[in-house]
Amino acid sequence: MSEIKPKIAVLVSGSGSNLQTIINNIENGNLNCEISYVIADRFCYALERAEKHKIKSVLLDRKIYGDKLSDKINEILEKNNEKTSYIILAGYLSILSEEFIEKWEKKIINIHPSLLPKYGGKGMYGMKVHEAVIKNKEKESGCTIHYVDSGIDTGEPIMSIKVRVSEDDTPESLQKKVLEKEHILLTEGIKKLLENEKNERV
């Protein structure tokens, strides 16, 4: 009998390199889980990545669903009828509703491209984070994964990795360095969460 693996849903808005890392690590056996759904809030390259790997994907255009977007995501996860262990925000840029966050407490994980609590909050995402870090002449930056609470980037941190910022770094070069670490962090973070969940079951 084949083993029933924990299911994760991955929410995306962009290129999906973090999604690709999860896919690669599932395919090479490093992560013992399955992606039940890739859900995007806009048309993005991440959807193509899901399709290439035959993963169920759904586009819920935030412009169409507006403040009903979280309800719709919840509906899809419920319809799936299988327990969703974690919802991974991998470059997902819409704000989830309080109701959704409450329902999935400690199950929603976000990856952010800075050492939180620095450079988090409203308007701090993607390249904007790296621009601010360079502008402030920081000596280090990095990435953080954290549980999602009702604030923006304020939930309890799980793990982070530091990156040294060199004097000749640009926002683009820093983004590249941080993204490489994000891929390691996200894999290690998901692995740790799945192991904890497994230990809780036995």
Annotated binding site for (6R)-10-formyltetrahydrofolate: 62, 110
Q: Provide φ and ψ at 61, rounded to 5°.
A: -60, 120
Residue 88 Cβ, how far from ligand GAR at the closest point, in Å?
10
Size of site (CB under 6 A) for ligand GAR: 15
Query: How many other C-beta atoms can be found within 10 angstroms of the C-beta atom of residue 118?
Result: 18
| Sole binder of ligand GAR in the list 69, 88, 91, 116 (CB under 6 A) | 91
| Sole binder of ligand GAR in the list 26, 60, 165, 179 (CB under 6 A) | 179
**Residues forming the annotated binding site?**
16-18, 62, 110
142 binds ligand GAR (CB under 6 A): no
Tokens for 3?
């083993």
165 with 178: CB under 8 angstroms?
no
| Residue of 177, 179, 191, 182 lying closest to 25 (CA atoms) | 191
Is beta strand 57-59 parallel, antiparallel or unpaired with respect to 140-147?
Answer: unpaired
Residue window 102-141: x/- pattern of binding to ligand GAR, with contact defined by CB under 6 A: ---------xxx-----------xx---------------
Any catalytic annotation for residue 112? yes
196 with 28: CB under 8 angstroms?
no
Instruction: Return the active site residues.
Output: 112
